[in-house]
Structure 1
Amino acid sequence: MNNIENIIPIPEGQSQADFIKNDLGFNIDTNDPLTKAALSDSVENENMDILGSGELMKKTLIKGEINTRPGRLDLCVVDIDGKLEDGTKVENFTDYKIQLGDVEVVQGLDLAIALMDVGEVAEITVFPRFAYGNLGRDPDIPSSSKIIYNVVLKSVTMEPEIDEMSYEKKKEFADKKRERGNWWFSRNEPVLAIQCYRRSLDYLQPSVDNSNKTSQNKITDSQLQALFADRTKVYNNLAAAQIKTEAYDTALESVDNVLRAEPENIKALFRKGRILTRKCETKRAILTFEKAAKLDPESKAITQELSVLRQKLVNESVEQKKLYKKMLGSPKKIENMSSTASSKFKNKLAVWSLFGGTLAAVAGVIVYKFAF
């Protein structure tokens, strides 16, 4: 059963959309396909086009208990059977636990399960874009496969308070999300990988106040060190995913989090060097790779990066000199300009000398006239 209590009843004669807009004060677009699907009650054997594109369809086979749909981050227990269009079974899970919205299943299922009630049995048809895409999944799901799932939503509970979780539970949740992030990263889905890594970090935060916890939930110093070590690992992976999305500033923050804990982490230094290279901070990148090279002098990758950057620095210096020459002109021209300027200065000096002499003569006459 969903453990959300005190559900506000909808007034008689008022639609769900009107209630949300007028009574709860949320503006919603009732024409948006996903919103429309979220507001619709499940009707047996009726196809629901969740996204309005025909790429994600849900058919309720057996209705569940009304008003028990899960919310984002709720923990769901589901049975999942997946098959290809030719009937080949490719997935089978019983009492499978997922956290909704954390892409622990393919995106199509993540969206569709949010529209199921507890006890509901549904057929969910997921087109490749929201399943395994062009890559497929070795060895059983070919590229660009549509998958038909039979899903039973068995129970829903709210996400536990992270700060109240035991060390073992925190580690279990964090590891699961990190591993899922690695899976998405391996499929070249860095945005989804980033989502998973960030959620993993949520479970690796130290408790606000460990002193008031029960002996069961209190984390020891050694366990705290283990959590920090896991955080470092996740931040390193997060930086790699952020580099792929070209989010270099946030990637630099992530990698610096690693280096604050482990200043000699070669992976982090290598990634920092690459980030600085992409940010066109050549000198800082060279210094970072040089530090990495001292720690791992046999690394061909580090040596190659250094070689390229040093040549780039030489090229930049040559280009700067050319630019200065272009701005100032050739040395002969500069010499002529200096000679001309000097000549003009001498002529002006002569004029001012003559003018000064004339003034002196005139002054002498005036003085003589009034003095004698």
Structure 2
Amino acid sequence: GGPRPLPGQEVSVKVLGALEDGGLGERDPRLIFVPGHGDVVQALELGVPTMQPGEVSFFLAAFPYAYGRPGREPDVPPEAPLLFEVTLLEVRDGPDPQSLPPAVRLRLGSQRRERGNFHFARGDFAAALRSYRLSLRALDGPATAPPGPEEEEELREQRVKCLNNCAAAELKLGRAEEALAACEAALRISPDNGRALLRRGQLLAEQGRDAEAALVLRRALELDPASKVIHTELSRLAKRQSPPS
């Protein structure tokens, strides 16, 4: 018994997931996650908050609430429903990411970014963006234990990757201004990041800010002179700026 998990609390569960043929598609004796953070399949995200510690529940999940249309190689086939047997082992307050050591923040940030990539590959761009933002929350800000030089550099690299991924997800959601803001945040950390420069140049061009776009794209070309994409973007801008003959 005991209270159900509250928003932001961390849970530990024992999970078994059975396929229709009786095979096991999921087995984890102690899976730890925060409901609502997008780190697990939807069946667990939605089901576990209804449980009390010590309770055993069964959730029959259609494929959108399990591993989606693609499934999960090699053990979950495409469009496979799963029957989950879940035991709620423990509920506790979730840790403040900024109170964690740098190595743990890096691991947590990487896990959440990879989960975002999982959602992105399946076309769930809102869930991907949520995971990327949670990754940034783990990676950003001051920490009680200052990182060493190598950890600080890795934190910076992870932030830039995550911001670039945020920009990609925002674009998929049709939010160009938010995508541009994510690119600019990445460039404040790493001014010569080629991916952020290219996307920023493309977004500026789409807004008709051709002079700014050309400057950004020329800088991207200096960093990657062989890029066909950048050459194409600059050629398109040049044609647009040329007076009609």
When the two structures are superposed, what TM-score results if normalisation uses the length of structure 1? 0.61
Alpha-carbon distance in structure 2 between the residues aligned to 1:88 and 1:167: 39
Give aligned pairs, total.
245
Deviations 1:92-123 (A, max 9, x none): 11111112211111112101011111111111
Q: CA deviation at 1:136?
A: 2.6
Q: Which position in structure 1 is the counterpart of 2:167?
A: 239
The root-mean-square deviation of aligned C-alpha atoms, in Å, is: 2.2
Does residue 12 of structure 2 align to residue 84 of structure 1?
no
Matches for 1:155-166 after TM superposition, within 5 Å: 155-166=90-101
Counterpart in the other structure of 2:201: 273
C-alpha separation in 1, matches of 2:221 and 2:152: 31
Kept after mapping to 2: 8 A contact 1:206/1:224: no
User: Is 2:54 the counterpart of 1:123?
Assistant: no
Q: What is the CA-CA distance between 1:200 and the residue it aligns to?
A: 1.0
Structure 1 pair 311–108 and aligned structure 2 pair: CA distance change class (3 A)? farther
- Does residue 1:75 correspond to 2:10, yes or no? yes
1:335 paired residue number: none
Distance 1:310 1:144 in 2: 47
AA in 2 matched with 1:119: G
Taking structure 1 as reference, are residues 297 and 221 closer, same or farther at Cα in structure 2, changes over 3 Å only?
closer
1:86/1:269 Cα in 2 relative to 1: closer, same or farther (>3 Å)? Answer: same
Instruction: Give the whole-Å Cα distance in 2 for the aligned partners of 1:144 and 1:313.
Output: 49
Residue 40 of structure 2 is aligned with which of 105, 122, 135? Answer: 105
Alignment partner, residue 70 of structure 2: 135
- Native 8 Å contact 2:103 2:151 kept in 1: no
Equivalent pair of 2:68/2:122 in contact (CA under 8 Å): no
Larger Rg: 1
Change in 2 beyond 3 A, CA 1:262/1:218: closer
- Shift of residue 221, structure 1, vs aligned partner: 5.3
Q: Supply the distance in 1 between the matched residues of 2:211 and 2:104 (Cα, whole angstroms).
A: 44
Secondary structure at the aligned position of 2:115 is classed as helix
Q: Which runs of 5+ in 1 are unaligned?
A: 1-64, 322-372
C-alpha displacement at 1:251, in angstroms? 1.1
2:222 match: 294
2: distance between equivalents of 1:275 and 1:186?
Answer: 22
Alignment of 1:11-30 (within 5 A): none
Cα deviation, 1:217-241, whole Å, max 9, x if unaligned, reads 3444554443233222211221122
| Aligned counterpart in structure 2 of residue 205 of structure 1, from 137, 140, 143 | 140
User: Could you say if the C-alpha distance between residues 281 and 108 of structure 1 is closer, same or farther in structure 2, counting changes exceeding 3 Å?
Assistant: farther
CA spacing shift, 1:138–1:279, aligned 2, 3 Å: farther
Aligned to 2:189: 261
Task: Please say if 1:192 is aligned against 2:127.
Answer: yes
Given that 1:79 and 1:96 are in contact with CA atoms closer than 8 Å, whether structure 2 keeps it comes out as yes
SS of the equivalent of 2:139 reads: coil
- Give the whole-Å Cα distance in 1 for the aligned partners of 2:78 and 2:97: 38
Q: Aligned to 1:75, what secondary structure does the other structure show? A: strand
Structure 2 unmatched runs, 5+: none
Give me the whole-angstrom Cα distance separating, in 1, the residues matched to 2:29 and 2:202.
44
Alpha-carbon separation, structure 2, partners of 1:218 and 1:90:
40
Query: 1:267, 1:296 → 2: CA distance?
Result: 10
CA–CA distance in structure 2, aligned partners of residues 223 and 137 of structure 1: 32
One-letter amino acid of the counterpart of residue 171, structure 2? I
**In structure 1, how many angstroms separate the alpha carbons of the residues matched to 2:237 and 2:29?**
53
CA contact (8 A) 1:248 1:279 kept: no
Q: Which amino acid aligns with 2:205?
A: T
- Distance in 1, matches of 2:176 and 2:158, equals 22
Match of 2:83 in 1: 148
- Give yes or no for the alignment of 1:170 onto 2:98: no
Deviation per residue, 1:283-312 (Å, 9 max, x gap) = 433332222112111112222222333334
CA distance in 1, matches of 2:85, 2:166: 34
Provide the identity percentage. Answer: 31
SS in structure 2 at match of 1:203: helix
